[in-house]
């Protein structure tokens, strides 16, 4: 078979809100431990320990995200990897159904007005981010990805005149 596979992983840059969320979780845990001491005694420390474990296993991993793009011929799969342990499929696209693929901020995207936007890029301002305008569930959706050069070349083969690199 002549199937071509391209894979690329992009780590999402930490947002300022991620740091604030971490601090708030820690403050709540400390407040439960200290504030609950007069009312609950030793049980307040046990409750704080349980909250700390829940935050460690459920909240903190969601703040460390990588996106993996897998392009098999014209099928693009986007997965989120949380704390380099847990994988969740985010989106599956057939890029041949896309209206246009162009760099983010390109004038070629001016005539498109998406109803929804999905950002699967690193968030780095200097990165070369591409916008895929594609109908998903009868809504025009803009999907931001950050492919490498190999993936861009592979997408050009399938997209033809709908793929722009400006």
Q: What's the predicted TM-score (pTM) here? A: 0.82
Give CA–CA dist 63/103, Å, rounded.
27
How many Cα atoms occupy the beta-carbon half-sphere of 121 within 13 Å?
Answer: 22
Tell me, what's the pLDDT at 119?
93
How do beta strands 86-94 and 116-119 pair?
unpaired
Tell me, what's the pLDDT at 5?
87
Q: Is 61 left (phi over 0), alpha (psi -120 to 50) or beta?
A: alpha
Q: Which residues of the chain have pLDDT under 50?
A: none
Residue with tokens 């596979």: 5
Give CA–CA dist 68/52, Å, rounded.
29
């Amino acid at each position: 078979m002549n199937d071509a596979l391209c894979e690329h992983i992009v780590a999402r840059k930490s947002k300022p809100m991620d740091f604030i969320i971490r601090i708030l979780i820690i403050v709540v845990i400390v407040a439960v431990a200290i504030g609950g001491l007069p009312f609950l005694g030793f049980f307040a420390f046990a409750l704080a320990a349980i909250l700390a474990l829940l935050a460690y296993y459920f909240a903190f991993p969601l703040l460390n995200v990588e996106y993996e793009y897998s392009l098999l011929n014209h099928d693009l799969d986007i997965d989120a990897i949380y704390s380099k342990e847990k994988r969740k499929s985010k989106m599956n696209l057939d890029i041949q159904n896309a209206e246009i693929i162009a760099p983010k901020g390109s004038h070629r995207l001016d005539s498109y007005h998406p109803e929804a936007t999905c950002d699967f890029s690193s968030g780095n301002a200097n990165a070369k981010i591409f916008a895929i305008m594609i109908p998903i569930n009868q809504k025009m959706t803009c999907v931001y990805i950050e492919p490498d050069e190999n993936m861009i070349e592979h997408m050009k083969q399938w997209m033809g005149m709908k793929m722009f690199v400006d």
